[in-house]
Amino acid sequence: MNEYVVEMKGIVKNFGQVQAVKHGEFNLRKGEIHSLIGENGAGKSTMMKLLYGMYPIDEGEITVKGEAMKTLSPKIAIEHGIGMVHQEFMLVNELTVLENIILGFEPKKGLTIDFDKARKDVEQYINQYNMEVQLDKKVSQISVGEAQRVEIIKTLMRGADIIILDEPTAVLTPQEARRLFEILNNLKQDGKSLVFISHKLNEVMEISDRISVMRQGGYMGTVNKDETSPLDLTKRMIGREVFLNIDKDYSKAGETILKIEDVWIPSQKETSKIRGMSLHVREGEIVGIAGIDGNGQSELVEAITGLRRVEKGRIILNGEDITNKSPRRIRNSGLAHIPEDRNTRGLNRSMSIEENLVAVRLDEAPFTKGILLSREGQDAYSKDMVEQFDIRPTDYHLPTSSLSGGNAQKVVVAREVSMKKKLLVASQPTRGVDIGAIELIRNTLEKAKKEGAGVLLVSAELEEIISLSDRIIVIHEGRITGEMMASEANENNLGLLMMGGSDAGKDGEKAV
């Protein structure tokens, strides 16, 4: 057999006017982990969706295990041993993990489903690759990391030996990412061939055998991991160096703009997830919240933005008590919010880029006094936003549902930051965006701060928290376990506090 299990040559794919892939090349060896990298919108997801048969190619050839594929569909791809784990999971929340895994492929005993056999088969994979999953839990009750393991088991149950993972670590905590990497290495040892898409170059350097680069729908070459570096990869991806070091200026912090006083907040599953937390953010400063995902940061942000009720305590924004007020009311009091989930909360996916950019502004002061933005005004504004924030494609009449992941995020950031509110709550603002866009978004937050906004930053990336924040607050299990200036912070002292920390008791009590 051919050296390659997959060969894609001279691939072209257009969506209407948009040339998603202009000349795509990709090949995959048996038993390797091959990373695919490139800027937002470079065509990575499209290339892999073509391999998985989700759209037909316009031009080119796809060969799988030596067989030229005349036509492809997900069904044919699965029959040829190809599996894909999408960034947006496709699990049914109300079913159990086991039911999800066998959905559509149920082993039968007579007319009924043979759950015993299914369970045995699944358990075999769980043991073989050391993937912890709880088969009888409902999907709605498991973590993102576990849901991802379920998706991987699903592909294995359907016989996949070629597995595509589209930005699998974007939604994981660093701890969960570590576990995923162990599983990927186990799969590789067993002779599976893996495609790994990521914007995180340190991960790419760790996990890959080879790395292919795409730029604007084109193929920019393939390198062996041992012969490249993050700097080299960045240059191949975007043609220049990127500087993530923020030139911080912490001289102008002014009035307190957000004040949180002894708040208690429930989560979906438990009462008092946040247990007596007090903090404040001043004008002209960035306060970073560091913590392992799931320790209350989402609940805190939802309470501030009016999406979750507070049990007790007070939240003061701009001198106004906004505790348990509606999201709209809180926005009007001076809040902008980059939500952690751009798909469900950040954007209306059926509306155009322009409509999304303009939507929240229409009920704002300058526009409610009968001075609705004119047609030309909206166009000029959208054009400006698309340029400033490097949103691609630049046609702002396109629906946001057709945007690549990172470009959708840029639309949300553009809209929220440009409102110039007093407080900007930014949750995972650079999740899923490429390194050039990370630079842009970080500089944007720093600029908002210099112009006097208070910024509350929640990020799973410690490096981001440290480089962007002026002050850092560490939380663990719904309490503050420490606070320090960013200049004193490093991954070690923050990591310790994130685990509960040595002085957890002391500061935790103080917060109550």
Note the residues at the interface with ligand ATP (CB under 6 A): 15, 18, 20, 38, 40-46, 392-393, 402-407, 434
Report the residue number, 236 or 392, with the smaller CB distance to ligand ATP: 392
Give the whole-angstrom CA distance, residue 272 versus residue 264: 6
C-alpha to C-alpha distances, 413 to 221, 361, 446, nearest whole angstrom: 32, 14, 13
Query: Rule CB under 5 A: is residue 407 a binding residue for Mg ion?
Result: no
The one segment of 40-48, 137-145, 213-221, 491-499 that binds Mg ion by CB under 5 A: 40-48
| Nearest to 34, CA basis, from 56, 15, 8 | 8
| The two structure tokens encoding residue 76 | 């044919």
* Nearest approach, Cβ of residue 366 and ligand ATP (Å): 31
Using the structure block, give the residue that is written with the tokens 């004193």: 488
* Nearest approach, Cβ of residue 387 and ligand ATP (Å): 16
- Beta strands 33-38 and 210-215 are parallel
C-alpha to C-alpha distances, 464 to 12, 229, 273, 292, nearest whole angstrom: 36, 21, 25, 14
Cα atoms found within 13 Å of the Cα of residue 156, Cβ hemisphere only? 25
Partner whose footprint covers residue 429, from Mg ion, ligand ATP, none (CB < 5 to 8 Å by kind)? none
Give the whole-angstrom CA distance, residue 313 versus residue 38: 46
Cβ partners under 8 Å of residue 127, min gap 6: none
* Nearest approach, Cβ of residue 90 and Mg ion (Å): 16
* Nearest approach, Cβ of residue 78 and ligand ATP (Å): 21
Report the residue number, 382 or 469, with the smaller CB distance to ligand ATP: 382
Query: Rule CB under 5 A: is residue 212 a binding residue for Mg ion?
Result: no
Report the residue number, 368 or 401, with the smaller CB distance to Mg ion: 401
* Nearest approach, Cβ of residue 167 and ligand ATP (Å): 7
Sign of the Cα pseudo-torsion (447, 449, 450, 453, in order): positive
Partner whose footprint covers residue 428, from Mg ion, ligand ATP, none (CB < 5 to 8 Å by kind)? none
* Nearest approach, Cβ of residue 72 and ligand ATP (Å): 16
Report the residue number, 42 or 260, with the smaller CB distance to ligand ATP: 42
Amino acid in the structure at residue 500: G
Report the residue number, 200 or 259, with the smaller CB distance to ligand ATP: 200
* Nearest approach, Cβ of residue 50 and Mg ion (Å): 13
Q: What angle do CA 286, 341, 86 make, to 5 degrees?
A: 130
Query: Rule CB under 5 A: is residue 45 a binding residue for Mg ion?
Result: yes
The one segment of 45-53, 69-77, 233-241, 298-306 that binds Mg ion by CB under 5 A: 45-53
Cβ partners under 8 Å of residue 79, min gap 6: none
Report the residue number, 172 or 425, with the smaller CB distance to ligand ATP: 172
Q: Which chain residues interact with Mg ion by CB under 5 A?
A: 45, 405
